[in-house]
Structure 1
Amino acid sequence: MIDTRTVVLVEGVSDKSAVEALAGRRGLDLAGEGIVVVAMGGATNIRAHVGRFGPAGRGLRLAGLCDAGEEEEFRRAFEGAGLGSELSRSDLEALGFFVCVADLEDELIRALGTAAVERVVDAEGELGSFRTLQKQLVWRERTTHDQLRRFMGSGGGRKIRYSGLLVAALDLDQVPRPLDMLLAHLLLGSRR
Protein backbone atom coordinates (compact mmCIF):
# COMPACT_ATOMS: atom_id res chain seq x y z
CA MET A 1 0.00 0.00 0.00
CA ILE A 2 2.98 2.29 -0.39
CA ASP A 3 1.63 4.05 -3.50
CA THR A 4 -2.00 3.91 -2.43
CA ARG A 5 -4.03 7.07 -2.85
CA THR A 6 -7.56 5.62 -2.59
CA VAL A 7 -8.96 2.82 -0.46
CA VAL A 8 -12.25 1.25 -1.50
CA LEU A 9 -13.95 -0.22 1.56
CA VAL A 10 -16.39 -3.06 0.95
CA GLU A 11 -18.07 -5.43 3.37
CA GLY A 12 -16.77 -8.74 2.07
CA VAL A 13 -14.61 -10.63 -0.41
CA SER A 14 -17.50 -11.13 -2.86
CA ASP A 15 -17.94 -7.35 -3.08
CA LYS A 16 -14.18 -6.95 -3.59
CA SER A 17 -14.28 -9.51 -6.39
CA ALA A 18 -17.15 -7.69 -8.13
CA VAL A 19 -15.47 -4.27 -7.91
CA GLU A 20 -12.19 -5.65 -9.26
CA ALA A 21 -13.98 -7.53 -12.05
CA LEU A 22 -15.86 -4.42 -13.18
CA ALA A 23 -12.73 -2.29 -12.98
CA GLY A 24 -11.00 -4.81 -15.25
CA ARG A 25 -13.88 -4.77 -17.72
CA ARG A 26 -13.83 -0.97 -17.78
CA GLY A 27 -10.07 -0.85 -18.28
CA LEU A 28 -9.31 0.72 -14.91
CA ASP A 29 -5.95 -0.46 -13.60
CA LEU A 30 -6.66 -0.20 -9.89
CA ALA A 31 -3.08 -0.77 -8.73
CA GLY A 32 -1.71 1.55 -11.40
CA GLU A 33 -4.07 4.28 -10.22
CA GLY A 34 -3.12 3.78 -6.57
CA ILE A 35 -6.48 2.22 -5.69
CA VAL A 36 -6.76 -0.70 -3.27
CA VAL A 37 -10.01 -2.56 -2.57
CA VAL A 38 -10.25 -3.74 1.03
CA ALA A 39 -12.74 -6.39 2.17
CA MET A 40 -13.41 -5.37 5.76
CA GLY A 41 -14.87 -8.65 7.00
CA GLY A 42 -18.26 -7.08 7.67
CA ALA A 43 -19.84 -3.66 7.97
CA THR A 44 -19.21 -3.43 11.70
CA ASN A 45 -15.53 -2.96 10.89
CA ILE A 46 -16.11 0.30 9.01
CA ARG A 47 -15.21 2.54 11.95
CA ALA A 48 -11.80 0.89 12.38
CA HIS A 49 -11.06 1.10 8.64
CA VAL A 50 -12.11 4.74 8.36
CA GLY A 51 -9.89 5.44 11.37
CA ARG A 52 -6.96 3.59 9.82
CA PHE A 53 -7.19 4.95 6.27
CA GLY A 54 -9.22 8.17 6.57
CA PRO A 55 -8.38 11.69 7.76
CA ALA A 56 -7.18 10.68 11.24
CA GLY A 57 -5.15 7.77 9.88
CA ARG A 58 -3.25 7.67 6.60
CA GLY A 59 -5.30 10.52 5.11
CA LEU A 60 -6.24 8.55 2.00
CA ARG A 61 -9.22 9.14 -0.25
CA LEU A 62 -12.00 6.72 0.73
CA ALA A 63 -14.77 5.15 -1.34
CA GLY A 64 -16.89 2.04 -1.12
CA LEU A 65 -20.12 0.09 -1.10
CA CYS A 66 -22.47 -0.97 1.65
CA ASP A 67 -25.77 -2.79 1.96
CA ALA A 68 -28.88 -0.75 2.82
CA GLY A 69 -29.12 -2.58 6.13
CA GLU A 70 -25.63 -1.34 7.05
CA GLU A 71 -26.01 2.24 5.86
CA GLU A 72 -26.50 3.62 9.38
CA GLU A 73 -23.31 1.89 10.57
CA PHE A 74 -21.37 3.58 7.76
CA ARG A 75 -23.03 6.94 8.45
CA ARG A 76 -22.03 6.81 12.14
CA ALA A 77 -18.44 5.90 11.24
CA PHE A 78 -18.11 8.87 8.87
CA GLU A 79 -19.71 11.26 11.31
CA GLY A 80 -17.40 9.98 14.06
CA ALA A 81 -14.41 10.61 11.77
CA GLY A 82 -15.48 14.21 11.24
CA LEU A 83 -16.62 13.70 7.64
CA GLY A 84 -19.98 15.40 8.21
CA SER A 85 -23.03 15.31 10.41
CA GLU A 86 -26.57 14.09 9.82
CA LEU A 87 -25.34 12.59 6.55
CA SER A 88 -27.99 11.76 3.96
CA ARG A 89 -27.57 9.12 1.29
CA SER A 90 -26.60 11.92 -1.12
CA ASP A 91 -23.94 13.01 1.36
CA LEU A 92 -22.62 9.43 1.49
CA GLU A 93 -22.44 9.38 -2.30
CA ALA A 94 -20.56 12.68 -2.30
CA LEU A 95 -18.05 10.99 0.01
CA GLY A 96 -17.77 8.13 -2.53
CA PHE A 97 -19.93 5.53 -0.75
CA PHE A 98 -22.83 3.92 -2.55
CA VAL A 99 -25.66 1.86 -1.07
CA CYS A 100 -26.94 -1.45 -2.48
CA VAL A 101 -30.69 -2.02 -2.06
CA ALA A 102 -30.32 -5.36 -0.24
CA ASP A 103 -26.78 -6.38 -1.11
CA LEU A 104 -24.57 -6.50 -4.19
CA GLU A 105 -25.75 -9.98 -5.19
CA ASP A 106 -29.34 -8.69 -5.18
CA GLU A 107 -28.27 -5.79 -7.40
CA LEU A 108 -26.44 -8.09 -9.83
CA ILE A 109 -29.34 -10.56 -10.07
CA ARG A 110 -31.79 -7.73 -10.79
CA ALA A 111 -29.47 -6.20 -13.40
CA LEU A 112 -28.92 -9.49 -15.22
CA GLY A 113 -32.35 -11.00 -14.78
CA THR A 114 -32.94 -14.45 -13.36
CA ALA A 115 -32.69 -16.29 -16.70
CA ALA A 116 -29.20 -14.90 -17.34
CA VAL A 117 -28.10 -15.74 -13.78
CA GLU A 118 -29.39 -19.29 -14.24
CA ARG A 119 -27.27 -19.55 -17.41
CA VAL A 120 -24.20 -18.52 -15.39
CA VAL A 121 -25.07 -21.13 -12.73
CA ASP A 122 -25.53 -23.74 -15.47
CA ALA A 123 -22.16 -22.85 -17.03
CA GLU A 124 -20.60 -23.54 -13.61
CA GLY A 125 -22.22 -26.97 -13.53
CA GLU A 126 -24.44 -26.10 -10.57
CA LEU A 127 -27.89 -25.82 -12.12
CA GLY A 128 -28.84 -29.20 -10.62
CA SER A 129 -27.91 -27.97 -7.16
CA PHE A 130 -29.95 -24.82 -7.73
CA ARG A 131 -32.96 -26.88 -8.85
CA THR A 132 -32.64 -28.92 -5.66
CA LEU A 133 -32.80 -25.74 -3.58
CA GLN A 134 -35.88 -24.63 -5.52
CA LYS A 135 -37.66 -27.86 -4.54
CA GLN A 136 -37.05 -27.40 -0.82
CA LEU A 137 -40.27 -26.69 1.04
CA VAL A 138 -39.07 -23.38 2.48
CA TRP A 139 -38.04 -22.08 -0.99
CA ARG A 140 -40.77 -23.51 -3.28
CA GLU A 141 -43.08 -20.51 -3.05
CA ARG A 142 -40.34 -17.88 -3.18
CA THR A 143 -39.43 -15.96 -6.34
CA THR A 144 -36.61 -17.19 -8.54
CA HIS A 145 -34.77 -14.00 -7.61
CA ASP A 146 -34.95 -14.85 -3.89
CA GLN A 147 -33.97 -18.45 -4.60
CA LEU A 148 -30.90 -17.31 -6.53
CA ARG A 149 -29.87 -14.95 -3.72
CA ARG A 150 -30.13 -17.83 -1.25
CA PHE A 151 -28.22 -20.13 -3.59
CA MET A 152 -25.40 -17.59 -3.96
CA GLY A 153 -25.19 -17.26 -0.19
CA SER A 154 -25.04 -21.00 0.44
CA GLY A 155 -22.12 -23.31 -0.17
CA GLY A 156 -18.48 -22.65 0.52
CA GLY A 157 -17.26 -19.60 -1.35
CA ARG A 158 -20.16 -19.52 -3.81
CA LYS A 159 -20.85 -15.81 -3.25
CA ILE A 160 -17.20 -14.98 -3.89
CA ARG A 161 -16.97 -17.11 -7.02
CA TYR A 162 -20.23 -15.92 -8.55
CA SER A 163 -19.80 -12.18 -7.94
CA GLY A 164 -17.05 -11.91 -10.57
CA LEU A 165 -18.90 -14.25 -12.93
CA LEU A 166 -22.08 -12.18 -12.70
CA VAL A 167 -20.14 -8.98 -13.39
CA ALA A 168 -18.55 -10.70 -16.40
CA ALA A 169 -22.04 -11.57 -17.71
CA LEU A 170 -23.33 -7.98 -17.44
CA ASP A 171 -23.84 -5.69 -20.38
CA LEU A 172 -21.75 -2.68 -19.42
CA ASP A 173 -24.77 -0.42 -19.87
CA GLN A 174 -26.72 -2.44 -17.27
CA VAL A 175 -24.31 -2.30 -14.34
CA PRO A 176 -26.20 -1.87 -11.04
CA ARG A 177 -26.29 1.78 -9.97
CA PRO A 178 -24.17 1.50 -6.78
CA LEU A 179 -21.40 -0.41 -8.57
CA ASP A 180 -21.59 1.84 -11.62
CA MET A 181 -21.47 5.01 -9.48
CA LEU A 182 -18.53 3.66 -7.46
CA LEU A 183 -16.51 2.98 -10.63
CA ALA A 184 -17.42 6.39 -12.05
CA HIS A 185 -16.26 7.97 -8.77
CA LEU A 186 -12.98 6.03 -8.92
CA LEU A 187 -12.41 6.94 -12.58
CA LEU A 188 -13.05 10.61 -11.83
CA GLY A 189 -10.62 10.52 -8.90
CA SER A 190 -7.93 8.77 -10.92
CA ARG A 191 -7.98 11.61 -13.49
CA ARG A 192 -7.30 14.30 -10.90
Structure 2
Amino acid sequence: MDLRSSLADAADLAAGTVVLVEGASDRCAIEAVARRQGHTLAGVAVVPMGGVTNLRHFLDLFADRRVAGLYDAGEEGYVRRVLASRGTDLSSAGIARLGFHACRADLEDELIRALGTPRVEELVEAAGDLRSLRRFQRQPAQQKRPLAGQLRRFIGTRSGRKSRYATLLADALDPARTPAPLDRLLAQL
Protein backbone atom coordinates (compact mmCIF):
# COMPACT_ATOMS: atom_id res chain seq x y z
CA MET A 1 0.00 0.00 0.00
CA ASP A 2 1.39 3.42 -0.87
CA LEU A 3 1.72 6.32 1.54
CA ARG A 4 -1.25 8.23 0.11
CA SER A 5 -3.57 5.22 0.57
CA SER A 6 -2.22 4.55 4.06
CA LEU A 7 -2.83 8.15 5.11
CA ALA A 8 -6.31 8.16 3.59
CA ASP A 9 -7.23 4.96 5.46
CA ALA A 10 -5.78 6.27 8.71
CA ALA A 11 -7.58 9.61 8.41
CA ASP A 12 -10.90 7.87 9.04
CA LEU A 13 -9.85 6.43 12.39
CA ALA A 14 -11.88 7.66 15.36
CA ALA A 15 -9.43 6.58 18.07
CA GLY A 16 -8.28 9.17 20.57
CA THR A 17 -4.85 7.53 20.89
CA VAL A 18 -2.76 6.39 17.95
CA VAL A 19 0.21 4.04 18.19
CA LEU A 20 2.48 4.44 15.18
CA VAL A 21 4.50 1.41 14.10
CA GLU A 22 6.63 0.67 11.07
CA GLY A 23 4.62 -2.20 9.63
CA ALA A 24 1.74 -4.63 9.92
CA SER A 25 3.79 -7.22 11.81
CA ASP A 26 4.40 -4.70 14.59
CA ARG A 27 0.65 -4.08 14.84
CA CYS A 28 0.02 -7.85 15.07
CA ALA A 29 2.56 -8.23 17.88
CA ILE A 30 1.27 -5.25 19.88
CA GLU A 31 -2.33 -6.41 19.61
CA ALA A 32 -1.40 -9.98 20.62
CA VAL A 33 0.70 -8.89 23.62
CA ALA A 34 -1.99 -6.44 24.74
CA ARG A 35 -4.60 -9.21 24.54
CA ARG A 36 -2.37 -11.62 26.53
CA GLN A 37 -1.76 -8.99 29.20
CA GLY A 38 -5.46 -8.17 29.46
CA HIS A 39 -5.04 -4.64 28.06
CA THR A 40 -8.01 -3.44 26.12
CA LEU A 41 -7.07 -1.24 23.23
CA ALA A 42 -10.44 0.50 23.25
CA GLY A 43 -9.93 3.99 21.91
CA VAL A 44 -6.48 3.06 20.62
CA ALA A 45 -5.58 2.49 16.97
CA VAL A 46 -2.32 0.76 16.08
CA VAL A 47 -1.34 2.21 12.72
CA PRO A 48 1.36 0.77 10.43
CA MET A 49 3.14 3.64 8.65
CA GLY A 50 4.91 1.64 5.95
CA GLY A 51 8.28 2.54 7.45
CA VAL A 52 9.64 5.05 9.92
CA THR A 53 10.42 7.56 7.18
CA ASN A 54 6.67 8.23 7.01
CA LEU A 55 6.58 9.36 10.64
CA ARG A 56 6.32 13.07 9.84
CA HIS A 57 3.25 12.51 7.63
CA PHE A 58 1.44 10.50 10.29
CA LEU A 59 2.31 12.94 13.07
CA ASP A 60 0.85 15.71 10.93
CA LEU A 61 -2.29 13.64 10.29
CA PHE A 62 -2.79 12.91 13.98
CA ALA A 63 -1.67 16.28 15.37
CA ASP A 64 -4.93 16.58 17.30
CA ARG A 65 -4.55 13.21 19.04
CA ARG A 66 -2.35 11.51 21.58
CA VAL A 67 0.37 9.68 19.62
CA ALA A 68 2.86 7.04 20.75
CA GLY A 69 4.88 4.40 18.97
CA LEU A 70 7.71 1.93 18.57
CA TYR A 71 10.77 2.36 16.38
CA ASP A 72 14.03 0.56 15.71
CA ALA A 73 16.97 1.92 17.72
CA GLY A 74 18.94 2.39 14.50
CA GLU A 75 16.33 4.96 13.46
CA GLU A 76 16.51 7.03 16.65
CA GLY A 77 18.32 9.93 14.98
CA TYR A 78 15.55 10.23 12.41
CA VAL A 79 12.80 9.96 15.05
CA ARG A 80 14.56 12.60 17.16
CA ARG A 81 14.82 15.00 14.19
CA VAL A 82 11.15 14.59 13.29
CA LEU A 83 10.01 15.11 16.88
CA ALA A 84 12.46 18.00 17.36
CA SER A 85 11.04 19.73 14.29
CA ARG A 86 7.92 20.16 16.39
CA GLY A 87 9.81 22.37 18.82
CA THR A 88 11.25 19.86 21.25
CA ASP A 89 14.90 19.01 21.78
CA LEU A 90 14.90 15.38 22.85
CA SER A 91 17.18 12.90 24.50
CA SER A 92 16.37 9.18 24.31
CA ALA A 93 14.55 9.50 27.63
CA GLY A 94 12.63 12.50 26.31
CA ILE A 95 11.50 10.53 23.28
CA ALA A 96 10.27 7.77 25.60
CA ARG A 97 8.38 10.29 27.78
CA LEU A 98 6.53 11.32 24.63
CA GLY A 99 5.48 7.68 24.21
CA PHE A 100 7.96 6.52 21.58
CA HIS A 101 10.06 3.51 22.52
CA ALA A 102 13.10 2.02 20.79
CA CYS A 103 13.50 -1.68 20.00
CA ARG A 104 17.14 -2.83 19.73
CA ALA A 105 17.03 -4.12 16.16
CA ASP A 106 13.28 -4.34 15.68
CA LEU A 107 10.25 -5.74 17.48
CA GLU A 108 10.81 -9.26 16.14
CA ASP A 109 14.34 -9.18 17.59
CA GLU A 110 12.89 -8.16 20.96
CA LEU A 111 10.38 -11.02 20.86
CA ILE A 112 13.01 -13.59 19.85
CA ARG A 113 15.29 -12.51 22.71
CA ALA A 114 12.40 -12.57 25.21
CA LEU A 115 11.35 -16.08 24.18
CA GLY A 116 14.83 -17.49 23.61
CA THR A 117 15.94 -19.25 20.45
CA PRO A 118 14.98 -22.80 21.58
CA ARG A 119 11.37 -21.70 22.12
CA VAL A 120 11.28 -19.84 18.79
CA GLU A 121 12.56 -22.96 17.02
CA GLU A 122 9.75 -24.94 18.70
CA LEU A 123 7.24 -22.41 17.36
CA VAL A 124 8.76 -22.64 13.87
CA GLU A 125 8.42 -26.42 14.04
CA ALA A 126 4.82 -26.22 15.31
CA ALA A 127 4.01 -23.84 12.44
CA GLY A 128 5.32 -26.41 9.95
CA ASP A 129 8.29 -24.31 8.85
CA LEU A 130 11.22 -26.17 10.43
CA ARG A 131 12.26 -27.79 7.15
CA SER A 132 12.26 -24.37 5.44
CA LEU A 133 14.26 -22.90 8.32
CA ARG A 134 16.89 -25.64 8.09
CA ARG A 135 17.20 -25.13 4.32
CA PHE A 136 17.51 -21.38 4.91
CA GLN A 137 20.24 -21.95 7.53
CA ARG A 138 22.34 -23.89 5.01
CA GLN A 139 22.63 -20.83 2.76
CA PRO A 140 26.20 -19.48 2.80
CA ALA A 141 25.08 -16.01 3.92
CA GLN A 142 23.37 -17.50 6.99
CA GLN A 143 25.99 -19.97 8.19
CA LYS A 144 28.05 -17.49 10.21
CA ARG A 145 25.05 -15.56 11.53
CA PRO A 146 24.02 -16.32 15.14
CA LEU A 147 20.84 -18.39 15.54
CA ALA A 148 18.80 -15.39 16.74
CA GLY A 149 19.84 -13.48 13.62
CA GLN A 150 18.97 -16.44 11.40
CA LEU A 151 15.53 -16.69 12.99
CA ARG A 152 14.91 -12.97 12.63
CA ARG A 153 15.96 -13.01 8.98
CA PHE A 154 13.95 -16.19 8.26
CA ILE A 155 10.81 -14.63 9.68
CA GLY A 156 11.13 -11.76 7.23
CA THR A 157 11.87 -13.78 4.08
CA ARG A 158 8.38 -14.54 2.77
CA SER A 159 5.35 -12.32 2.26
CA GLY A 160 2.98 -12.61 5.21
CA ARG A 161 5.41 -14.61 7.32
CA LYS A 162 6.51 -11.64 9.40
CA SER A 163 2.96 -10.81 10.53
CA ARG A 164 2.15 -14.47 11.12
CA TYR A 165 5.21 -14.97 13.29
CA ALA A 166 4.76 -11.67 15.10
CA THR A 167 1.43 -13.02 16.33
CA LEU A 168 2.81 -16.51 17.06
CA LEU A 169 5.77 -15.14 19.04
CA ALA A 170 3.64 -12.64 20.95
CA ASP A 171 1.02 -15.28 21.78
CA ALA A 172 3.75 -17.58 23.15
CA LEU A 173 5.26 -14.87 25.31
CA ASP A 174 4.87 -15.05 29.08
CA PRO A 175 3.45 -11.63 30.03
CA ALA A 176 6.17 -11.32 32.67
CA ARG A 177 8.80 -11.49 29.88
CA THR A 178 7.32 -8.79 27.66
CA PRO A 179 10.17 -6.88 25.98
CA ALA A 180 10.81 -3.57 27.77
CA PRO A 181 9.91 -1.23 24.85
CA LEU A 182 6.58 -2.97 24.33
CA ASP A 183 5.88 -3.14 28.06
CA ARG A 184 6.58 0.60 28.46
CA LEU A 185 4.40 1.42 25.47
CA LEU A 186 1.44 -0.60 26.77
CA ALA A 187 1.85 0.91 30.25
CA GLN A 188 1.40 4.38 28.75
CA LEU A 189 -1.82 3.53 26.90
Q: Same fold (TM over 0.5)?
A: yes
SS in 2 for 1:159: helix
Given the alignment, which residue of 43, 46, 58 partners 2:55?
Answer: 46
Given the alignment, which residue of 8, 25, 30 partners 1:14?
Answer: 25
- Are residues 1:161 and 2:172 paired? no
Q: How far apart are the structure 2 equivalents of 1:181 and 1:9?
A: 14
Number of the residue aligned with 1:36? 45
Cα RMSD of the aligned pairs, angstroms, is 1.1
Given the alignment, which residue of 92, 97, 101 partners 1:94?
Answer: 97
User: What letter is aligned with 1:68?
Assistant: A
Deviations 1:10-50 (A, max 9, x none): 011111111111111122221x2x11010000000000111
> How many pairs were matched up?
178
Query: Equivalent residues in 2 for 1:80-119 (5 A)?
Result: 80-82=85-87, 84-85=88-89, 87-119=90-122
Unaligned 5+ residue runs, structure 2? Answer: 1-11
Q: Is the 8 A contact 2:29 2:167 kept in 1?
A: yes
TM-score (norm: length of structure 1): 0.89
Q: Is the 8 A contact 1:50 1:81 kept in 2?
A: no
Q: Percent identity?
A: 52
Unaligned 5+ residue runs, structure 1? Answer: 187-192
Q: How far apart are the structure 2 equivalents of 1:156 and 1:10?
A: 18
SS in 2 for 1:183: helix
- Are residues 1:70 and 2:75 paired? yes
Q: How far apart are the structure 2 equivalents of 1:53 and 1:2?
A: 10
Q: Report runs of 4+ in structure 1 exceeding 2 Å deviation.
A: none
Q: How far apart are the structure 2 equivalents of 1:78 and 1:142?
A: 35
Q: How far apart are the structure 1 equivalents of 2:65 and 2:86?
A: 13
User: What letter is aligned with 2:52?
Assistant: A
SS in 2 for 1:63: strand
Residue 2 of structure 1 deviates from its aligned partner by 5.8
User: What letter is aligned with 2:118?
Assistant: A
Q: How far apart are the structure 2 equivalents of 1:61 and 1:185?
A: 11
